[in-house]
Amino acid sequence: MAWTKREFVVQAFEEIGFSSYVFDAAPEQLNSVLRRLDAMLARWNANGIRLGYPLPSSPSDSSLNESTNVPDACVEAVYLNLAIAIAPSFGKTVAQETKQAAKAAYDALLNKLAEPMEMQLNTSIPSGAGNKYGRFLDEYIDPLLSGNDGQIEFN
C-alpha cells in the first residue's frame, strides 16, 4: 500500500528527532513540511525522477491524507531527503548517518530508475538490407516449413 503524504511528513519529523509520542506538530507546521515535500518532489520530477507522486497545481490543493503512489523501493529516499530539507527550519542538525543514508537511498533510487523500461518492438520500422520477405518488419510472412528441408510446395 502506498504511503500518504502525512506518513512522509511524520517520518521526516521522527528522523530529525521529533518523535510523535513527544512532539505534537501544529497544523501550520505540518502544512509547511507538506509544501516542502511537494516542492522537493516537483524538483525531482523536473529532473526526470518521476515516482508517481501527485503534484498539486497550487499549495492549497495538497492534502496530508492523499496517497502518494511512491514505489516502496523509493520511500526511504523521500523521507530522508525531506528530513534533511526541513531540519534547519526546526533548529535541528541532521546526523551524519542520516545524511549518508539519504545519499545511499537517493543513489539507489537513481539506479532503479536508470534501468531501461521494457518496450514492445515497433514493427513499422524498415527491416534492413538482406531481408527477402518485405521492406518493413510488419510485412513478414512466416513460410510454412517442413523440418530442416525448407518450404512445402503445393501443386
Say if residue 129's pLDDT is above 90: no
Domain boundaries along the sequence of the chain: 5-114
Q: What is the pLDDT of residues 10-30, one digit of tens each?
A: 999 999 988 765 567 788 899
Confidence of residue 124 (pLDDT cuts 50, 70, 90): low
pTM of the model: 0.71
Burial class (CB in 10 A: 0-12, 13-18, 19+), 16: buried
d(CA 81, CA 99): 8
In the predicted model, what is the mean pLDDT of the chain?
A: 81
* 123: nearest Cα among 141, 142, 136: 136
Q: What is the pLDDT of residues 29-38, one digit of tens each?
A: 999 999 999 9
Class of domain 5-114 (CATH, top level): mainly alpha
129-148 average pLDDT score: 54
Confidence of residue 137 (pLDDT cuts 50, 70, 90): low
Which of these ranges, 11-15, 73-77, 106-110, 124-128, has the smallest mean pLDDT?
124-128
d(CA 40, CA 35): 9
